[in-house]
Amino acid sequence: MVLNQLPEWHALEQRRDALDGQHLRELFAADPDRFAQFSLRHENILLDYSKNRVDAATMEALRALAGACDLEGWIARMFAGEAINLTEGRAVLHVALRNRANTSILVDGEDVMPGVNSVLARMRDFVARVHDGNWTGFTGASIRDVVNIGIGGSDLGPVMVTEALKAYRQANINVHFVSNVDAAHLHETLAGLDPARTLFIVASKTFTTQETMANARAARAWLLQTLGDEAAVARHFVALSTNAAAVGDFGIDAANMFEFWDWVGGRYSLWSAIGLSIALALGMDRFEELLDGAHAMDRHFREAPLEGNLPVTLALLGIWHVNFLGAESQAVVPYAQNLHRLPAYLQQADMESNGKSATRDGDFVAWDTGPVIWGEPGTNGQHAFFQLLHQGSRLVPVDFIVAANSTYPNDAQHEMLLANCLAQSAALMTGKTGDEARAEMAAAGLDASEIERLLPHRTYRGNQPSNTLLVETLDPRTLGALIALYEHKIFCQGIIWQVCSYDQWGVELGKQLAGQLLPRVRGETADGTVDASTAGLLAQLRHWRG
């Protein structure tokens, strides 16, 4: 099936031509019910997608494309535990990790739920012991600082969630994250920490990732420098992994390993044992509320018809922007300071999943796939890159995310935040016409020639599409649902684009190449087979390193 030769694809090209030249302002003027028609709710999440260049026929045509791609069949296959990670021959079952209904889910004939529940129970027990001081370090002191060492999927989700839910954090415990192999990250994190009261979590699905292992070894050396005895490692190191043998080789006791499984993709793993840092930061009850929210979104995704389905709708709008309106990127702008790592998290989730150009059948795609994801919190972004959104030459769809209620006491500032968020999406949609700009400048007393000179600079085309995700409060359950919403959006787009969303051969390439170059950086191997640029850089850096 060639996607861009489907009749449903051609129908969408016709919708694009039919809507061409119509401004969002006109679409709103023509239909007073536009918000009601183009908004959806799931629990306390409202998706307003009315500020997109779509009409009812376009949405219908997008759903027809989803039908032609058998989207609903693929959703069923994922939830049934089929090996839809085609290039690695694995099931894709992050939904099992938060399957709060506890219905059985089979992988190769075996129910995965008893294993999921048992790890959750072990996490609960461990978190309680750390929090109540019963888990002590080697000297008998209780734990005050937890350092999660991991990278990529073993870091970005936990960092994003613990930051997002800072308002719910557990007293008396500080959770830190070290990911970069740059020694600065570990060094600066450990500065001021007391080894006797520090617990390291080594989070690595494979337990072979170069950066994580280097940081874990350095952390162990730092610990032993003070505590002296190798036996201290058992009290200060736990592992989150699928690789029990490598965990043992590192010297971490099997009793201190929290396992997960190969059907959990790295960037979809925050719901697994990889979330231990989240549970330590917030408490296990909060972590389970996160799972509850995600599970509620899973059910919605699985059960709601396409036209009322939030992840499907968000995905189809993205397809519309990328494949029919030519958008190359997607901005994510949370009006929530604590969501400051959400764009980075979504960058990985989306770009590592759908940044592909081979189809499931192994052909080269003849259509665009995943966009560049980027963003920063508002209102900060307004004082920076919003210039390009308002007056640049590119189409950049924006997802605005904002909570009606703050989790902090200063409500007057929250009102300002809300007003800014609503103002920006409205301004991007309506823009400012030449006549409006002229009238404004005339009112400010500018003379006619000055007005005409400035006019091109002071008009705003508008017509920039955006979604607004308005939530009641950014609490653990809501955040869980929000993350699951994006996960499923990414899934739907991968199915339609026909890419394998659950592998990451591009990332594997980096892991391979760094391994080959390390001996050359160390000067242990002659430069030989490297290209001239790499050889030149190696020569200079060796010179400067003496």
Q: Binding residues for ligand G6Q, per CB under 6 A?
A: 151-154, 204-206, 209, 212, 265-267, 352, 504, 507
CB of 104 to ligand G6Q, least distance (A): 26
Catalytic residue among 211, 288, 289, 352: 352
What token pair was written down for 256?
Answer: 């201190």
Of the two residues 392 and 506, which places its CB atom closer to ligand G6Q in the complex?
506
What token pair was written down for 248?
Answer: 């043992």
Rounded to whole angstroms, the Cα distance separating 457 from 410 reads: 37
Of the two residues 158 and 462, which places its CB atom closer to ligand G6Q in the complex?
158
Question: Of 276, 192, 265, 267, which is closest to residue 239 (Cα–Cα)?
Answer: 276
Instruction: Judge whether 8 counts as a catalytic residue.
Output: no
Of the two residues 176 and 267, which places its CB atom closer to ligand G6Q in the complex?
267
Rounded to whole angstroms, the Cα distance separating 251 from 184 reads: 25
Token pair 């999440």 in the structure block, residue: 45
Catalytic residue among 383, 457, 524, 543: 383
Instruction: Judge whether 383 counts as a catalytic residue.
Output: yes
Catalytic residue among 340, 390, 432, 511: 511
Of the two residues 260 and 320, which places its CB atom closer to ligand G6Q in the complex?
260
CB of 260 to ligand G6Q, least distance (A): 10
CB of 199 to ligand G6Q, least distance (A): 19
Rounded to whole angstroms, the Cα distance separating 346 from 489 reads: 11
Of the two residues 413 and 516, which places its CB atom closer to ligand G6Q in the complex?
516
Of the two residues 152 and 283, which places its CB atom closer to ligand G6Q in the complex?
152
CB of 259 to ligand G6Q, least distance (A): 13
CB of 257 to ligand G6Q, least distance (A): 14
Rounded to whole angstroms, the Cα distance separating 212 from 204 reads: 7
Q: What's the Cα-to-Cα distance from 299 to each of 49, 73, 75, 83, 89, rounded to whole Å?
A: 21, 15, 11, 20, 25
- DSSP characters over 218-260: HHHHHHHHHH--GGGHHHHEEEEES-HHHHHHHT--GGGEEE-
CB of 220 to ligand G6Q, least distance (A): 17
Angle at 496 between CA 495 and CA 498, to 5 degrees: 65
CB of 247 to ligand G6Q, least distance (A): 12
Cβ(211)–Cβ(179) below 8 Å: yes
Token pair 């119509």 in the structure block, residue: 22
Cβ(273)–Cβ(119) below 8 Å: yes
Residues 6+ apart with CB under 8 A from 54: 19, 38, 62, 317, 320
Of the two residues 209 and 463, which places its CB atom closer to ligand G6Q in the complex?
209
Cβ(47)–Cβ(41) below 8 Å: yes
Token pair 């400048």 in the structure block, residue: 441
Amino acid type, 126: F
Instruction: Judge whether 440 counts as a catalytic residue.
Output: no
Of the two residues 374 and 460, which places its CB atom closer to ligand G6Q in the complex?
374
CB of 410 to ligand G6Q, least distance (A): 37
Beta strands in 324-397 (DSSP E): 329-335, 372-374
Of the two residues 212 and 277, which places its CB atom closer to ligand G6Q in the complex?
212
CB of 522 to ligand G6Q, least distance (A): 23
Cβ(375)–Cβ(333) below 8 Å: yes
- Helices 56-68 and 310-319: crossing angle in degrees, nearest 10, is 100
What token pair was written down for 189?
Answer: 């994190």
Residue whose beta carbon is closest to ligand G6Q? 152
Question: Of 118, 190, 119, which is closest to residue 149 (Cα–Cα)?
Answer: 190
What token pair was written down for 432?
Answer: 């400012």
> Residue 309, by phi and psi: left (phi above 0), alpha (psi -120 to 50) or beta?
beta
Q: Which residues are catalytic?
A: 352, 383, 511
